[in-house]
Structure 1
Amino acid sequence: MEIDMNNKEERVLVTGGTGFIAQYCILALLNRGYHVRTTVRSLTREAEVRDNLKAGGAEPGDRLSFFTADLTADEGWAEAAAGCIYVIHGASPTPTGNQTSEEEWIQPAVDGNLRVLRAARNAGVRRVVLTSAFGAICAGHGQMKRPFNETDWSDLTSKNVWPYQKSKTLSERAAWEFVAGEGQGLELSAINPVTVLGPVLGADYSHSIRLIKNIMDGQPGIPRINSGFVDVRDVADLHLRAMTHEAAKGERFLAIAGESMWLAEVAKVLKQRMGLAADKVSTRVLPNAMVRLGALKDPALRGAVPLLGLNLNATSEKAMRLLSWSPRSREEAIVATAESLVRHGLLSDAN
């Protein structure tokens, strides 16, 4: 791995070092010569993170250091941010269980963002890059006649907004309000990725990867759902561009590769490109009525119902124009994901 040593004295904090996007941001930063700090809720996860980074081609040694910090508490954040010139904040608390209330999603996300921003401001950090989500842009709008862009915000008055989308929307808005009112010169940029795919680094992978795993493992049909896709390596690259580029100050950037796709098109890509590994892939589109009926008994399907037939196309024209961002194709992201699942032995035994 070639290292750019021009940045050898600059320290960057990446929050939530166990996360998929965070680990690729760490890899990209190390590759550019930065010293990196990352936060974990428990230092028992350090070995796992280092193993994943090694799988990604990096053995940083003392160029990477770990700090214990939790988004639900103040302890540790001042120490983690001290001496850093930039912060990439991707950590987000995720409640577990099917019956979690909106408050269990929203307040920790809002408070977590504010905790990190306060620590960054107090430490004299130049800029924070916030990993937000497409969920802060697309929810509650129904069928759009144009691609979503960075001027769009999720409509929280709609009944079809999930707690996760509401938490991402309110926590991003809180971040912008904090920087405007209390930032004292702290700069902020936000990245809003669509469904993030790409090579997994180990057995603990993100929720979005399950979409490809489920198709590869032979789920019995494909709901008529549309999504944008982007490779995690390009999401990390966009974070670093937003971190240092003057044009990124005070801006949000939507990350999508090309146009959105129907999941049946994703299945066809896998069928065409993955050979025998895709022998269980079904390209059969399930009727909407069947999905609605199944959702009455299966909680996992309930979230799909409001998305049936909804085109969620979006554009990354702004990131390409202002930051010269050039992502891999959506097909490359899909295939790289599937290939990594095969490589790590993460598909069902029959594959």
Structure 2
Amino acid sequence: MSGELVLVTGGSGFVGAHCIVRLLEEGYRVRTTVRSPAREPDVRAMVRAGRPEGAADTGDDLTFAVADLGADDGWAEALAGCAYVLHVASPFPPGEPEHEDDLIVPARDGALRVLRAARAAGVRRVVLTSSFGAVGYGHPQSDKPFTEETWTDVDGPGMNAYVKSKTLAERAAWEFAAGEGSGTELTVVNPVGVFGPVLGPDYSASIALVRQLLDGAMPGVPRMHFAVVDVRDVADLHLLAMTSPAAAGERFVAAAGDVMSFHEIAVLLKERMGEDGARVPTRELPDRSRVEGGVTNLDVIRHTSSEKARRVLGWRPRPNEEAVLATARSLVRIAGA
């Protein structure tokens, strides 16, 4: 409903900023959390970059609250008057932490902190941004696509701290909703590799890979395969998950289609980006380098289905190729600005 107040945690992040843009487009008022007031200008700049040219200033429709997932302070004030919460914020380290609990504990406890504060504030629904990392890891390779019915096996092979943190945080959230939710509904979105237009310096690890390809920073492309989704479609799915009665108590995989290989992405950039794609390598690397935060994912194919989101919510994501090219074009635009 137009004018209702929505809290977006982690508005300075890639997905969070795009969620703010979509909410404002739909007439919602948005409050977003930052860990420091110094981040407010950065978030406003990203939101301006994501809005149509000539759009009115956000004014009082976008406000800020200082709150940290590691502490209780500030959350009651952040949630006051909110009808919905998009809990997007979650720690994502540049590499594997020394101890997995350094990542698992803040992710799990942060999700529970937000849910408790939302319940206390009488929030109607919380949409938690989880990850495909909570769906399709720790299992033997299969031709059958992973769906919302699947959970990552944290004791299975090829595990890392980030994947475990997303899985355990989501499980804790569902347990809380079942036992202590008291009327605050929970819905979860599980994105795959998030691509799409960059609005500022904070973006996903998937986009960092495209940046490296464009820069010619890789000697070749590893034999990796992953599913792709455009960040704008992830934001759309968050709004559908927030408002649709059918979404209550459900999780939704966000994937544009089935997997792409890293080689396919490199060839697409080489062929479609003109001079800006001149340095993109297309030779597949023969070694078995360790990638993706320390998990060996070479030659592993995790087929993925987003049929549920399409059927239940009418979600219609952009094709894989459009998401990848939008990523590259935005990186080129920012580099030339």
Structure 1 and Structure 2 fold alike (TM over 0.5): yes
Cα offset for 1:323? Answer: 0.2
**What's the counterpart of residue 166 of structure 2?**
168
Counterpart contact for 1:203–1:344, Cα < 8 Å: no
What is aligned with 1:3?
A: none
Contact 2:97-2:103 at 8 Å conserved across structures = no
Seq. identity, %: 56
Q: Which whole-Å deviations, capped at 9, do the CAs of 1:307-345 have from their partners, x for residues lacking one?
A: 111112201000000000000001000000000000000
Q: Structure 1 residue aligned with 2:45, among 44, 47, 51?
A: 51
Residue 2 (structure 2) pairs with residue 7 (structure 1) = yes
Counterpart pick for 1:196 among 187, 194, 210: 194
Measure the CA separation in 1 of the matches of 2:97 and 2:254: 31
Q: 2:307 aligns with which of 312, 317, 321?
A: 317
Alignment-derived partner of residue 243 in structure 1: 242
Aligned match of 1:23: 17
Output the CA distance in 1 between the equivalents of 2:255 and 2:292. Answer: 25
Deviation at 1:99, TM superposition (A): 4.2
Would you say the 8 A contact 1:95–1:104 is kept in 2? no
Q: Quote the offset at 1:159 in angstroms.
A: 3.7
Match of 1:331 in 2: 321
Deviations 1:18-40 (Å, cap 9, x if unpaired)? 11101110000000000100000
Q: Look up the equivalent residue of 1:54 and give its one-letter code.
A: R
C-alpha separation in 2, matches of 1:304 and 1:269: 25
Q: Is the 8 A contact 1:18 1:49 kept in 2?
A: yes
Q: Counterpart in 2 of 1:345? A: 335
Alignment partners' CA distance in 1, 2:105 and 2:258: 33
User: What is the rounded CA distance, in whole Å, between the counterparts of 1:159 and 1:206 in structure 2?
Assistant: 24
Q: What is the alpha-carbon distance in structure 1 between the residues aligned to residue 96 and residue 172 of structure 2? A: 26
Using the alignment, how far apart are the partners of 1:135 and 1:48 within structure 2?
A: 28
Residue aligning to 1:38:
32
The AA in structure 1 aligned to 2:300 is: L
| Paired residues, number | 332
**Helix, strand or coil at the partner of 2:205:** coil
Q: TM-score, normalised by structure 1?
A: 0.92
Q: CA deviation at 1:158?
A: 1.5
Aligned amino acid, residue 328 of structure 2: A
Distance 2:193 2:142 in 1: 18
- Distance in 2 separating the partners of 1:264 and 1:97: 23
RMSD (Å), alpha carbons: 1.5
Residue-by-residue CA offset, 1:54-111 (whole Å, 9 max, x unaligned)? 1112631110110000000000011111110000001113456654211101111110
Aligned-pair distance for 1:118?
0.4
* Displacement after TM superposition at 1:215 (Å): 1.1
Q: Is the 8 A contact 2:146 2:303 kept in 1?
A: yes
What secondary structure sits across from 1:208 in the alignment? Answer: helix
Alignment-derived partner of residue 291 in structure 1: 288
Q: In the alignment, what sits opposite 2:257?
A: 258
Shift of 1:145: 2.2
CA contact (8 A) 2:145 2:304 kept: yes
Q: CA deviation at 1:286?
A: 1.0
1:272 is matched with 271
Please report how far the alpha carbon of residue 301 of structure 1 lies from its aligned counterpart in structure 2 after TM superposition: 7.2
Q: What are the within-5 Å matches in structure 2 for residues 141-180 of structure 1?
A: 141-180=139-178
In structure 1, give the amino acid aligned to 2:81. Answer: G
* Superimposed CA distance per residue, residues 270-313 of structure 1 (whole angstroms, 9 cap, x where no aligned partner): 111111100001111111xx234xx5xxxx577252x1111122
1:230 corresponding residue in structure 2: 229
Where structure 1 has 5 or more consecutive residues not aligned to the other structure, the ranges are: 1-5
| Equivalent pair of 1:142/1:310 in contact (CA under 8 Å) | no
Segments of 5+ residues of structure 2 without an aligned counterpart are none
Instruction: Give distance in 2, aligned partners of 1:99 and 1:92.
Output: 15
Q: Residue type matched to 2:90 in 1?
A: S
Conserved 8 A contact 1:203-1:346: no
- Distance in 2 of aligned mates of 1:328 and 1:17: 23
Task: Quickly say closer, same or farther: Cα 1:62–1:151, change in 2 above 3 A.
Answer: same
Hey, what's the Cα distance between the residues in 2 that align with 1:35 and 1:301? 36
Contact 1:200 1:337 in 2 (8 A): yes
Tell me the SS of whatever aligns to 1:223: coil
SS of the residue corresponding to residue 205 of structure 1 reads coil
Over residues 116-147 of structure 1, what are the superposed CA-to-partner deviations in whole Å (9 max), with x where a residue is unaligned?
A: 00010000000000000010011111312211
CA contact (8 A) 2:96 2:161 kept: no
